[in-house]
């Protein structure tokens, strides 16, 4: 029976377990709708269109209609082993509708009338596939850093394949590329996962092709213990920083913030009465609350007063609006000019936003603090390969040394898994029992 062959073909093609469960059911429903013989179905594109419309008429959401159409496409490729009918454009259209429906449920979704404003400026001299990639990333409200990373990986992939036409390649080329990163490139697992996400976004979200399971060789890099600065080293470094950089040092070490999280803080995220800092859209798109260090409370209040004067000057010059996530920008069109939304650590000069093309004041760049940190680390003669993120490592380690509960530290750091937090137990000053070296008894 062809249904049995279909199930076996899905398993052999390494489709996901949910696909193996639901695709045969959608395919059976498709056959029943048209009254076709399960053993020798004859159908074309119009049959699939009619079936999809019938599902829409009874209120089936777009993501389920996508699965239904995808089951027909999978049957064509795996059982009939032909390319007709080609339903890739239908799958792409349904995926876009599904994304919009998902956004509508979460944040009112992008209004098609505002699509041009959301997409912003895209270089027409770039290859068509890169232009499409940028457009789809921006429509989904993904970060500019993510856009740049995805564009970089897609360019690298297409360069290795020898063509700018991504449609010429498929799962085999993607699998070989990811395997090459692990075997020849010796990259970290996170780097390989980023490349995989970029390529799957290209092929599944833009080109409408479902690869199922990609059995690429996994990157396996040895885990390293984090570099932690001792309390005396923190005390040695802090006096070397002045002004805004000193305040950033205190906030990162005192609240356990990542470098990017610190740069992205806004005025409203510092809650003096409650005694905490709100970290919004952190790693994994999660919000969390962490402690507000008393040591930098007065300096933060002084910084906010300085910001108020700077913001008023920017408003007078017509540059007093800051970037907001694309959904909030549409929902609250005047919020970007409110003082509460201004960056806590603003750049010295205004600049043109690379997406919207609007001149505005952004937060300080990565090099602003990072270069100063390396300069002062060298000046202090501390022989450790530390980076700004080491301040976050030091925050966690020193809390645990002071007897803080590991679950509390996990929440303050925003770790999804407590095992990530437990690595700091290995770098504590006295992990476990305070043992004495046998050499000390000589």
Over the stretch 253-276, which tens digit does the pLDDT of each residue have? 999 999 999 999 999 999 999 999
Question: Which entry of 7, 135, 283, 362 is annotated as an active-site residue?
Answer: 283
Look at the block and give the residue holding tokens 């005192």: 254
Question: Is 53 an annotated catalytic residue?
Answer: no
pLDDT computed for residue 214 by the predictor? 76
Taking Cα atoms as reference points, which of 156, 40, 101, 114 lies closest to residue 331?
Answer: 114
pLDDT computed for residue 432 by the predictor? 52
Per DSSP, the three-state class of 291 is: strand
Question: Which entry of 245, 258, 288, 361 is annotated as an active-site residue?
Answer: 258
Determine contact, residues 351/362, Cβ cutoff 8 Å: yes
pLDDT computed for residue 113 by the predictor? 38
Is residue 178 classed exposed, middle or buried when 0-12, 13-18 and 19+ CB atoms within 10 A define those classes? Answer: buried
Q: How many CA atoms are closer than 13 Å to the CA of 140, on its beta-carbon side?
A: 20
Q: What is the pTM assigned to this prediction?
A: 0.67
Question: Is 424 an annotated catalytic residue?
Answer: yes
DSSP, res 205? I
Structural domains of the chain, with CATH:
1-109 (1.10.150), 115-222 (1.10.150.130), 225-431 (1.10.443.10)
pLDDT computed for residue 110 by the predictor? 39
pLDDT computed for residue 188 by the predictor? 85
Residue spans of the chain under pLDDT 50: 103-113
Cis peptide before 362 (omega within 30 of 0): no
Question: Is 363 an annotated catalytic residue?
Answer: no
Question: Is 66 an annotated catalytic residue?
Answer: no
DSSP, res 281? S
pLDDT computed for residue 108 by the predictor? 35
Question: Which entry of 138, 321, 361, 415 is annotated as an active-site residue?
Answer: 415
pLDDT computed for residue 105 by the predictor? 34
Question: Is 5 an annotated catalytic residue?
Answer: no
pLDDT computed for residue 265 by the predictor? 96
Which residues, 6+ apart, have CB-to-CB distance to 201 below 8 Å?
A: 133, 136, 137, 150
Look at the block and give the residue holding tokens 């937060």: 363
Taking Cα atoms as reference points, which of 193, 210, 361, 221 lies closest to residue 284?
Answer: 193
Is residue 7 classed exposed, middle or buried when 0-12, 13-18 and 19+ CB atoms within 10 A define those classes? Answer: middle
Question: Which entry of 205, 245, 392, 398 is annotated as an active-site residue?
Answer: 392
Question: Is 259 an annotated catalytic residue?
Answer: no
pLDDT computed for residue 115 by the predictor? 57
pLDDT computed for residue 104 by the predictor? 37
Taking Cα atoms as reference points, which of 281, 259, 293 lies closest to residue 389?
Answer: 259
Alpha-carbon distance of 435 to 40, in angstroms, equals 75
Crossing angle for the helix pair 243-255 and 297-316, to the nearest 10 degrees: 130
pLDDT computed for residue 116 by the predictor? 60
pLDDT computed for residue 429 by the predictor? 61
Question: Which entry of 29, 96, 297, 389 is annotated as an active-site residue?
Answer: 389
Q: Measured in Å, how far apart are the chain's first and last C-alpha atoms? A: 80
């Amino acid at each position: 029976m062809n249904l049995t062959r279909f199930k076996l073909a899905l398993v052999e093609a390494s489709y996901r377990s949910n696909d193996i469960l639901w695709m045969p059911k959608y395919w059976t429903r498709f056959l029943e709708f048209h009254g076709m013989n399960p053993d020798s179905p004859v159908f074309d594109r119009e049959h699939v269109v009619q079936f999809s419309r019938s599902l829409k008429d009874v209120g089936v959401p777009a993501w389920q209609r996508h699965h239904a159409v995808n089951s027909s496409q999978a049957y064509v490729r795996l059982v009939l082993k032909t390319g007709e009918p080609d339903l890739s454009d239908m799958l792409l259209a349904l995926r876009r509708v599904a994304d919009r429906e998902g956004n509508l449920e979460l944040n009112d979704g992008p209004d098609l009338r505002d699509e041009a404003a959301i997409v912003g400026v895209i270089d027409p001299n770039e290859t068509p596939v890169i232009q499409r990639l940028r457009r789809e990333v921006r429509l989904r409200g993904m970060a500019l850093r993510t856009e740049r990373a995805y564009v970089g990986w897609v360019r690298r992939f297409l360069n290795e394949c020898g063509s700018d036409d991504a449609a010429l390649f498929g799962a085999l080329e993607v699998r070989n590329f990811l395997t090459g990163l692990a075997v020849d490139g010796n990259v970290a697992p996170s780097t390989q996962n980023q490349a995989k996400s970029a390529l799957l976004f290209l092929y599944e979200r833009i080109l409408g092709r479902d690869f199922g399971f990609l059995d690429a060789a996994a990157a396996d890099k040895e885990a390293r213990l984090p570099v932690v600065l001792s309390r005396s080293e923190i005390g040695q470094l802090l006096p070397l920083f002045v002004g805004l950089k000193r305040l950033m040092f205190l906030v990162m070490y005192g609240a356990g913030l990542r470098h990017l999280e610190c740069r992205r803080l806004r005025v409203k995220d510092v809650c003096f009465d409650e005694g905490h800092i709100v970290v919004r859209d952190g790693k994994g798109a999660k919000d969390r609350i962490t402690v507000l260090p008393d040591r930098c409370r007065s300096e933060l209040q002084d910084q906010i007063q300085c910001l108020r004067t700077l913001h008023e000057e920017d408003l007078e010059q017509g540059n007093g609006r800051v970037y907001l996530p694309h959904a909030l920008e549409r929902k609250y069109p005047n919020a970007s000019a409110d003082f509460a939304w201004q960056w806590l650590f603003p750049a010295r000069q205004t600049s043109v936003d690379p997406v919207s093309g609007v001149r505005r004041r952004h937060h300080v760049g990565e090099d602003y603090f990072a270069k100063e940190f390396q300069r002062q680390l060298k000046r202090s003669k501390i022989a450790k390969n530390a980076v700004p993120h080491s301040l976050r490592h030091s925050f966690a380690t020193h809390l645990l040394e002071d007897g803080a509960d590991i679950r509390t530290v996990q929440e303050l750091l925003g770790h999804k898994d407590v095992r990530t937090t437990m690595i700091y137990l290995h770098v504590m000053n006295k992990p476990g029992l305070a043992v004495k070296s046998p050499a000390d008894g000589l």
